[in-house]
Amino acid sequence: MPPVTGAISRALVEGIIKENRVVMFSKTFCPFCNKVKDRLKSKFIPYHAVELNLGTETEMNNYQDLLKEMTGQRSVPNVFINGKHIGGCDDTLKLDDEGNLLPLVNAKATEAHNYDYDLVVIGGGSGGLAASKEAAKLGKKVAVLDFVKPSPAGTQWGLGGTCVNVGCIPKKLMHQSALLGEAIHDAKKYGWNVEPEKISHSWEKMQMAVGDYIGSINWGYKVELRDNNVKYLNSYGEIKDRHTVVCTNKRGKTEELTTQNILVATGERPRLPDIPGIEHAISSDDLFWLPECPGKTLVVGASYVALECAGFLKGLGLDVDICVRSIFLRGFDQQCADIVGNHLEKEAGCKMIRPATPTSIEKLENGMLKVHISNGTTVVDEYKTVLMAIGRDPCTSGIGLENVKVELAESGKVIVNDGEETNIENVFAIGDILKDRLELTPVAIQAGRLLARRMYAGAVEKMSYNTVATTVFTPLEYSACGLSEEKAIEKYGLDNIEVYHRKFWPLEWTVPGKDANLCYMKAITIRHEPNEPVIGLHYVGPNAGEVMQGFSAAMKSGLTKTILDGTVGIHPVNAEWFTDLSITKRSGAELKNSGC
Ligand code: FAD
Ligand code: NDP
């Protein structure tokens, strides 16, 4: 909110009113002005406040005299919307109470129409649910369709999409189950009278507990939709034309909804290779719902899904082999990816079959699966379960996008601009189906909320896909925010970046005598810029996600190495080492682990 400066003319005031959709002449200490600001903020309506008390007294009086001359009102707040004088606090709040504020701010979004809905959302996952609730909160009539096609192995689940049912939530809970197993071993060293050799794990109990929790979330989502007046249909959606969505329910009954706008948020499903015997394999869509323990498992793939699943299965005590086609965690900082992969192999005990890709799966009489791999002659082994985790395909076919000619990339992903708008004016898209965007739950949620606010509140904020932190929940966790070292070199050149790094020995690992040389962190900076802006942070160690979340906020706020150095650490935690990074890679100095 800029202070008032310079000479105040009527032309200046008229210019401010003309250039801004919502203008408030205000004083920072005025409770009535703050009431109006709070109301506008609660509706995500962006406004331009001219704070009269921040200029000189002459300027302030000058403004108020001019406003009196123009509107007959000298007091603040003095509010204008789309050039029209609204009045003071009571007038503005009344306008909103009577439902006329949003239409005045955003006439396009509130155009009268005769469709059944303002917005129909296809896909009730992370993005679709967030967008539909936000649009409904802004007074729109919204329907959301969510329908789960069973996986090839027949698994199905409830409302909420991938994250809740077959992604983040069951994955993190099963990862936690595995970490607890490890903690029992540590507990003995800490004085607990346990006999780790005698403990056992029940997959069935864990799966039921996880499934029950997911069931409660599914139910909670339905309640939230109802409370927000969003119509939920457990139906498959297909776009018929720009304003009609055909909904088909489980029994094959169809109905047509007409709508002003359509939002597509149909997510992705696991890709399965076209190899003989693939029907014997499962994907992550099935793993979390297996009623019985998967037993000895071959995990195919080496990215997020593959390594996380392999990690918790191994942690639960199963034999796990991993079929790695090329590198670990493509797209991530490769030094950190290798630490994670090597830990899985050498510490956790997964067998790496590398480089390899399966060519066929054969079911033996004893029910075990024999897997043949790419070099043609090798049979890998016999497994109870083969888990395919080789990537995911967008759910963009069979949903009528071709009927309205929405532009798709070759991969089937939807092409949108920086406002999540497709090439068709009233068709929008968010989440995993987008080309060149991050496939993460908070990204889909944030994009959905911001889109609804731009569509229906006149908000202008767009989704920023930069400096989004992410965590790989492998037994040794890895979290990153910003650029990998490879990307930083590619973008700025080796000479222009600095990599500060260190090994650290988590205090909690000392008593149980765990490896002192595993955990690692690095900060990548732009070397010659003032204060050295931080462009990448990487942390491999316990509680990686919890560590990186706060640092990602700092990076969004322009974190520099000078700020990191000036930050006082919290002792004794692992994240504190980020405030004490002094060794550069360029120096070639040997890294020694640091304990407390
Ligand atoms: P989804 O959540 O997939 O929702 C799409 C919904 O639309 C689904 O319910 C689908 O059935 C439905 N649908 C599809 N077509 C139609 C149709 N025609 N009509 C009606 N409904 C339809 N992200 C993280 O941030 N952290 C993690 O730890 C994490 N872990 C993951 C672990 C695994 C194993 C996987 C697979 C993913 C993980 N992700 C994680 C990614 C995260 O789950 C996704 O980024 C997120 O769910 C994407 O949300 P979305 O709204 O785009 O799609
Ligand atoms: P990715 O597309 O990221 O990775 C696919 C993996 O499978 C790669 O390792 C790839 O190897 C390998 N692969 C592909 N084809 C074959 C083949 N024929 N044989 C053997 N290996 C093969 O997919 P994911 O499913 O792991 O993840 C999808 C997205 O889901 C991620 O990008 C992420 O955004 C999200 N996610 C997020 C998580 C989190 O936040 N913790 C957890 C899980 C998923 P190659 O490198 O050789 O191509």
For residues 284-293, give the mean pLDDT.
98
Pairing status of strand 117-122 against strand 142-145: parallel
- With beta carbons less than 8 A apart as the criterion, state whether 279 and 154 touch: no
Give, using CA atoms, the residue closest to atom 14 of ligand 1: 266
The residues spanned by each domain of the chain are: 10-106, 117-267+395-457, 272-390, 477-587
- Mean pLDDT across 194-201: 92
How much is the mean pLDDT over the chain?
95
* Separation between Cα atoms, residue 246 and residue 253, nearest integer Å: 10
Q: What is the mean pLDDT of residues 32-53?
A: 93
| Ligand nearest to the CA of residue 272, numbered in listed order | 2
ipTM of this predicted structure:
0.97
Q: Which residues pair with 245 in a beta bridge?
A: 239, 257
Closest-CA residue to 110 (of 89, 86, 81, 151):
81
User: Rounded to the nearest whole angstrom, what is the distance from the C-alpha of residue 110 to the centroid of ligand 1?
Assistant: 30
The answer, yes or no, to whether any atom of ligand 1 lies below 6 A from the CB of 163, is: yes
Point out the ligand 2 atom lying closest to the alpha carbon of residue 438: 34
Cα 231 to its chain centre, rounded Å, is 25
Q: Is 389 in the pocket of ligand 1 (CB under 6 A)?
A: no
Q: Is the CB of 128 under 6 A from ligand 1?
A: yes
Q: Evaluate whether 117-267+395-457 and 272-390 have a shared fold.
A: yes
Atom of ligand 2 nearest to the CA of 470: 40
Task: Identify the CATH number of the domain defined by range 477-587.
Answer: 3.30.390.30
Ligand 2 atom with least separation from CA of 358? 19
Given a cut of 70, whether residue 53 has pLDDT beyond it is yes
Please report which helix (H) or strand (E) contains residue 500, including its range.
strand 497-504
How do residues 433-481 score in pLDDT, each as one tens digit? Answer: 999 999 999 999 999 999 999 999 888 899 999 999 999 999 999 999 9
Weakest mean pLDDT among 46-50, 264-268, 446-450: 46-50
318-356 in b/e form (b: 16+ CB < 10 A) is: bbbbbbbbebbbeebbbbbbebbbebbbeebebbbbeeb
Instruction: Report the amino acid identity of residue 39.
Output: R
Residue 571 is a catalytic residue: yes
595 confidence band (pLDDT: 50, 70, 90): low
What is the distance between the alpha carbons of residues 506 and 519, in angstroms, rounded to a whole number? Answer: 8
Residue 312 Cβ inside 6 Å of ligand 1? The answer reads: no
Atom of ligand 1 nearest to the CA of 123: 7
Superfamily of domain 117-267+395-457: FAD/NAD(P)-binding domain (3.50.50.60)
- pLDDT exceeds cutoff 70 at 131: yes
Q: Which residues contact 62 (CB under 8 A, 6 or more apart)?
A: 8
Q: Ligand 1: which of 266, 413, 446 to mutate, judged by most atoms within 8 Å of the beta carbon? A: 266
Helices marked H in 72-125 = 89-97, 101-105
Residues with CB under 6 A from ligand 2: 273, 300-306, 308, 323, 325-327, 330, 357, 389-392, 439-440, 470-473
pLDDT (0 to 100) of residue 594: 62
Superfamily the domain 10-106 falls into? Glutaredoxin (3.40.30.10)
> To 5 degrees, how large is the angle CA 142–CA 143–CA 145?
150
d(CA 479, CA 501): 15
Q: Does 10 have pLDDT greater than 80?
A: yes
Using one digit for the tens of pLDDT, what is the confidence trace for 146-189? 999 999 999 999 999 999 999 999 999 999 999 999 999 999 99
What pLDDT sits at residue 1? 45
Looking at 3.40.50.300, 3.40.1190.20, 3.90.1200.10, 3.50.50.60, the CATH number of the domain 272-390 comes to 3.50.50.60
* H or E segment and range at residue 299: strand 297-300
Place of tokens 């322009």: 558
* Ligand minimally distant from the alpha carbon of residue 329: 2
Instruction: Quote the CA–CA distance of 323 and 463 in Å, as a whole number.
Output: 36
